[in-house]
């Protein structure tokens, strides 16, 4: 009777191959789990970062790109090209109608913005953090600061209220949270004989301030 025995070296070799494959499988599973955990942590970190973004941060990037956008305000919608960002406002040039040819500038308080529509790629790019270590002088200018400058220079303005009011005139003075507007016909200077009446307007009631001649803040 003959008995065939597997050489000891083959048993050892076969066992080693078995364990090598086992460890390779375990290493592959561990690497996959680590990658999955890392992706989950990255996703959670990104969600946390986005949760801290403010509207101003995203508008800053859109302004830097001179992004064309449709801005919804109470009672009306404007097609604009975003240009400048202030402390509590954004300035844009008109891109439709007669206003486009005159390069009219709209200053829009952030509190009046109901929505902004723009290219999806630009919208996604505005998610990138771009907070400057030191805000520019323009970004520190408030709406009141601009209106006081308009009053000093006697700049004619058109003010649209959040209630739809359409007012033309010259800013006589601007306080901490309101302005005095001398109403007169568009295209006329603020002369005593041209002024029809005066209006005290809270900043909170302003949807946009339009200047002519491309006078960008």
- Quote the pLDDT of residue 99: 46
- Quote the pLDDT of residue 98: 45
For 45-84, the pLDDT digits (tens) are 767 767 778 899 999 999 999 999 999 999 889 999 999 9
pLDDT-based confidence at 95, cuts 50/70/90?
Answer: confident
pTM of the model: 0.76
Give residue limits of the domains in the chain: 9-52, 55-211
CATH architecture of 55-211: Roll (2.30)
For the chain, what is the HEC assignment?
Answer: CCCCCCCHHHHHHHHHHHHHHHHHHHHHHHHHHHHHHHHHHHHHHHHHHHHCCCHHHHHHHHHHCCCEEEEEECCEEEEEEEEEECCCEEEEEECCHHHHHCCCEEEEEHHHCCEEECCHHHHHHCCCCCCCCCCCCHHHCCHHHHHHHHHHHCCEEEEEECCCCEEEEEEEEECCCEEEEEECCCCCCCCCCCCCEEEEEEHHHEEEEEECCCCCC
């Amino acid at each position: 009777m003959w008995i065939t025995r597997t050489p000891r070296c083959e048993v050892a070799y076969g066992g080693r191959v078995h364990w090598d494959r086992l460890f390779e499988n375990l290493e592959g599973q561990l690497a996959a789990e680590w990658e999955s955990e890392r992706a989950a942590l990255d996703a959670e970190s990104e969600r946390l970062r986005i949760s801290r973004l403010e509207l101003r941060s995203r508008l800053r990037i859109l302004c830097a790109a001179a992004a064309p956008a449709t801005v919804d305000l109470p009672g009306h919608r404007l097609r604009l090209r975003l240009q400048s960002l202030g402390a509590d406002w954004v300035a844009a040039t008109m891109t439709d109608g007669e206003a486009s040819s005159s390069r009219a500038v709209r200053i829009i308080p952030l509190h009046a913005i109901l929505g902004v529509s723009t290219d999806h790629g630009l919208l996604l790019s505005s998610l990138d953090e771009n907070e400057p270590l030191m805000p520019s002088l323009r970004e520190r200018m408030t709406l009141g600061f601009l209106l006081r400058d308009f009053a000093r220079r006697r700049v004619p303005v058109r003010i649209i209220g959040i209630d739809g009011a359409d007012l033309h005139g010259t800013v006589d003075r601007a306080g901490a949270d309101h302005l005095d507007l001398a109403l007169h016909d568009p295209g006329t200077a603020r002369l005593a004989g041209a002024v029809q009446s005066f209006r005290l307007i809270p900043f909170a009631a302003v949807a946009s301030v339009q200047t002519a001649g491309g006078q960008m803040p």
